[in-house]
Chain A
Amino acid sequence: MATLTLKNVTKRFGKKVVAVSDFSLEVPDREFLVLLGPSGCGKTTTLRMVAGLEEVTDGTILIDEVDVTDLPPRRRDVSMVFQNYAVWPHMTVYDNIAYALKLKRMDKKTIDKTVKEAAGMTKIAELVDRYPSQLSGGQQQRVAVARAIAVKPKLFLMDEPLSNLDAKLRVATRTELKAIHDKTEATTVFVTHDQSEAMSLADRIVIMKDGGIVQIGSPDDVYHRSASLFVADFIGTPPTNFMDVELKVENGDCRLINPHFDFKLKPDHAAKLRNYGKKKLVLGIRPEKILLVGEEDSILAAQCLVSEPQGSHQIIAIELADKIVKIVAPAHPMIESEETVHLSFNQEAIAFFDSESGLRI
């Protein structure tokens, strides 16, 4: 087991395209770290640099405090699960898993034991004599995972391993991946663009955008304490609702004003915003933090545009200042379309963002 350190890592393709810029990160032993971001943000490139499949333009990569920046992949003692599984079609499942062990010059008995162990852990023990073309996508994915855990690497790298599976299988497999990680306790770097996958797997999430880090934190951090508009919008389904507001100070009271509402802020928010100085702000609030209340407690009333029942809850969409705002509400009572709803905000959960930089205040 091992630690991974990236120091000011930069990757340029050609002269102009910067895929990753000045990326620094430390991954402690046994952590399950997820690199999360939209496509083209440099997360896969970062992973491939750690694996040694992509040359590093600038900076250093250390595994267990050893500089591996210029080492070929085979000398880094890492293993990887690829997006398209990359199981070798001309080898049986057994040979796929055993290949890396043979290259390590293990003796036959040990290889056999290790292969069976890995196949058992990934529940493909009865498939070892088959060829990959005789397996389903999900089974091939298991082979890829078995192959990766069999070598007992210092570092376990996964490049969107679940994205080629269908939705139901994806959710089931991610639970198993987590269980396998708990068993092997291998330091893991996992790349995905699926935020719910990231939330459910990660010890820590690194959110990337345009080749840089936007926020590093636990799933709880990035969800409840999003560092910027981008993160607040990217994490969560439905995403955070944003509203343009104006701060008004009146006889010592702080009020937030919007064409649709006008309410008094609680003291801790008020103090923070007053010190910040700017008047125009962006208010962000999670859909489940907007509350359906009686008319007397409401700060705004709106007509329900559509309501989507989800069984355990319902999602209500309203329109505020040409923007759709979504609200997650209890399943009962059912809200009908065009019904008027009275809303209030859970003030503790409100986040404020700078309208220019997009950063959290």
Chain B
Amino acid sequence: MTKTKKKPVSVAKAARTTIFYVFVVGVVVALLLPLYFIVSLSFLSTREAYEYPLPMVPALNTQFKLEYGKRGYLLSVYDRVEGGFETVLDTKELQKMSDYMKYQLATPMTLEDIEQQIAKLEEMQDVVYFTRRRNLLSNYQSFFGVAGSEAVPALIRSLQICALTIIISLSIGGMAGYAFARYAFKGKDLLKFSVLFVRMFPGVAIAIPMIKILVGLNFYDKPIGLSLVYSIGNIALTVWITASIFMGIPESLEEAAQVFGASKARSFLRITLPLALPGLAAAAMYSFLGAWNETVSAIILTQFNPTFAVIVYQTVLGAVGQVNLAAAGGMAMALPAVIFTFFIRRYIRQMWGGVTI
């Protein structure tokens, strides 16, 4: 009796659990699939990237078949999707063959190596199979190679801009946040809200006056110019984050330090600042991500010295027929942000845990 009674309950429970996990898995898949797609794409060769259906993972090796063809030598590669060899080239020119291997198949072979294989073919009179290791990083190499001399300096510029933006918005925003948290003054609430007003204007809308001002300051097309522009919006955010953090740290901690022999400045540096570190780290992360990812203003406000985001943007636009290259650029763009966030996450977690007094 009890068994029959219990059964519908457990079925309902099982159904609920199943639906829950299906839902969870669905969400995880929806989140991870695009990420997986772009990571995998950035390692594919150009030929693989345009196959249908798309390979799930990049091949580690390329299998070649070499025969005599009508015009010279017939080169075939093993196609994992079709499950057989597919002819890709019929040529006498070895340089052309080498270029094709390097750029389309991401499997570089030297001319001597190719000549050796042809010699083997002539010995055996019929057909030669051989396998060569794929260069998995070829997209990244050509991204930094094609974008050429531009990508690396742009990367350095972007990092400079990020560092400057963090310094400017954290020092000004942090001080303002402290003032908002500790002092009572007239028009405090209005002022605190008004710092957010600057975020209402899209960068494009006020681009022309911004260019004029930056040119006037002699900051146009320089990292400092862009970091100033980015700081405007980030200061607002920093003020709010740090104000709430400083409010969470009792003033009496600082006062206690003052009573026990510290000056006002020392009590701030020794007591309040270390306790505010998680909040400051969070604010720094927002500033970094904001400055690192921003593209629109960067396109408008730079000319000969673009940021890394601009370079990636140009690659995505310019590399028609090269999605794998664009994917590599995207990955190169995302990685520093991921690394930065990874190092700072310890503090963020502390912040969500609250300042423990």
Which A residues lie at the B interface, using CB under 8 A? 51-53, 72-74, 78-80, 82-84, 86-90, 99-100, 103-104, 132-133, 147, 151, 157
Select the stretch in B141-149, B239-247, B248-256, B334-342 that faces chain A. Answer: B248-256
In the assembled complex, the Cα of A74 lies from the Cα of B258 at a distance in Å of: 6
A–B pairs, 6, beta carbons within 8 Å: A79-B260, A82-B252, A83-B252, A133-B357, A151-B260, A151-B261
* A-contact bits for B190-207, CB 8 A (1 contact / 0 none): 000000000000000000
- Which residue from A72, A88, A90, A133 sits with its C-beta under 8 Å from B256? A88
In the assembled complex, the Cα of A167 lies from the Cα of B102 at a distance in Å of: 81
State whether B275 touches A73 (Cβ < 8 A).
no
> Given A72-B263, A74-B263, A84-B250, are A89 and B356 also a contact pair (CB < 8 Å)?
yes
Least Cβ–Cβ distance between A76 and chain B, in angstroms: 8
User: B257 interface residue, CB < 8 Å from A?
Assistant: yes
User: Interface residues of B, CB < 8 Å — how many?
Assistant: 19
State whether B257 touches A53 (Cβ < 8 A).
no
What 10 new A-B contacts, CB under 8 Å, besides A73-B259, A80-B259, A86-B250? A74-B260, A74-B262, A80-B256, A86-B252, A88-B253, A89-B355, A89-B357, A90-B275, A104-B261, A133-B356
> Given A72-B263, A90-B275, are A82 and B256 also a contact pair (CB < 8 Å)?
yes
State whether A132 touches B259 (Cβ < 8 A).
no
Least Cβ–Cβ distance between B45 and chain A, in angstroms: 53
Q: What are the residues of chain A within 8 A of B271 when measuring CB–CB?
A: 88
- Which residue from A74, A84, A87 sits with its C-beta under 8 Å from B259? A74
Interface SS, B side: helix
> Given A84-B250, A86-B255, A88-B271, are A147 and B260 also a contact pair (CB < 8 Å)?
yes
In the assembled complex, the Cα of A72 lies from the Cα of B265 at a distance in Å of: 12
Q: What are the residues of chain A within 8 A of B264 when measuring CB–CB?
A: 72
State whether A72 touches B355 (Cβ < 8 A).
no
User: B84 interface residue, CB < 8 Å from A?
Assistant: no
> Nearest chain-B residue to A76 (Cβ)?
B259
Q: What are the residues of chain A within 8 A of B356 when measuring CB–CB?
A: 89, 133
Interface centre among A72, A89, A104, A157 (most CB of B within 10 A): A89
Q: What are the residues of chain B within 8 A of A74 when measuring CB–CB?
A: 258-263
State whether A79 touches B259 (Cβ < 8 A).
yes
Q: What are the residues of chain A within 8 A of B255 when measuring CB–CB?
A: 51, 53, 73, 80, 82, 86
Q: What are the residues of chain B within 8 A of A151 when measuring CB–CB?
A: 260-261
User: B274 interface residue, CB < 8 Å from A?
Assistant: yes
> Nearest chain-A residue to B357 (Cβ)?
A89
In the assembled complex, the Cα of A221 lies from the Cα of B259 at a distance in Å of: 33
In the assembled complex, the Cα of A80 lies from the Cα of B261 at a distance in Å of: 11
Q: What are the residues of chain A within 8 A of B257 when measuring CB–CB?
A: 88, 99
Identify the 5 closest CB pairs spanning chains A and B, nearest first.
A100-B260, A103-B261, A86-B252, A86-B256, A73-B258
Least Cβ–Cβ distance between B83 and chain A, in angstroms: 63
> Nearest chain-B residue to A48 (Cβ)?
B255
In the assembled complex, the Cα of A86 lies from the Cα of B255 at a distance in Å of: 9
> Nearest chain-B residue to A134 (Cβ)?
B356
In the assembled complex, the Cα of A143 lies from the Cα of B356 at a distance in Å of: 16
- Which residue from A78, A99, A103, A132 sits with its C-beta under 8 Å from B357? A132
Within residues 207 to 236 of chain B, which ones have a CB less than 8 A from any CB in chain A? Answer: none
Q: What are the residues of chain A within 8 A of B261 when measuring CB–CB?
A: 74, 100, 103-104, 151
